[in-house]
Amino acid sequence: MELALLGGTGDIGEALALRFGRDTDVVLTIGSRTAEKAADAAEDYEAEIAAHGVERSISGVDNATAAADADVVVLAVPPYYVSDTLEAVAGELEDTIVVSPAVGMKGDDDGLHYSPPPQGSVAALAAENVPESVPVVGACTNLSAGRLSDLNEEFEMDTLVFGDDEEAKATVSELVERIDGIRALGAGPLANAAEVESLTPLLINVARNNDGIHNAGVRFL
Q: Which residues bind a second copy (CB under 8 A)?
A: 108, 110-114, 155-157, 160, 185-189, 191-192, 194-196, 198-199, 201-203, 205-206, 208-210, 213, 216-221
Select 50 or 213, whichever has its Cβ closest to a second copy.
Answer: 213
Select 2 or 195, whichever has its Cβ closest to a second copy.
Answer: 195
CB of 132 to a second copy, least distance (A): 19
Select 37 or 183, whichever has its Cβ closest to a second copy.
Answer: 183
Residue 73: left (phi > 0), alpha (psi -120 to 50), or beta? beta
Indicate the DSSP class of residue 156: -
CB of 48 to a second copy, least distance (A): 24
CB of 80 to a second copy, least distance (A): 20
CA distance 39 to 62: 9
CB of 109 to a second copy, least distance (A): 9
Select 52 or 219, whichever has its Cβ closest to a second copy.
Answer: 219
Indicate the DSSP class of residue 6: E
CB of 78 to a second copy, least distance (A): 19
Residue 166 backbone phi and psi in degrees, to 5 = -60, -40
Pairing of strands 136-138, 157-163: antiparallel
Select 31 or 116, whichever has its Cβ closest to a second copy.
Answer: 116
Judging by beta carbons within 10 Å of its beta carbon (0-12, 13-18, 19+), is residue 95 exposed, middle or buried? exposed
| Helical axes 35-50 vs 11-23, angle rounded to 10° | 50
CB of 173 to a second copy, least distance (A): 11
Select 61 or 184, whichever has its Cβ closest to a second copy.
Answer: 184
Pairing of strands 2-6, 72-75: parallel
CA distance 28 to 4: 6
Contact 110, 148 (CB under 8 A): no
Strand partners, 75: 6
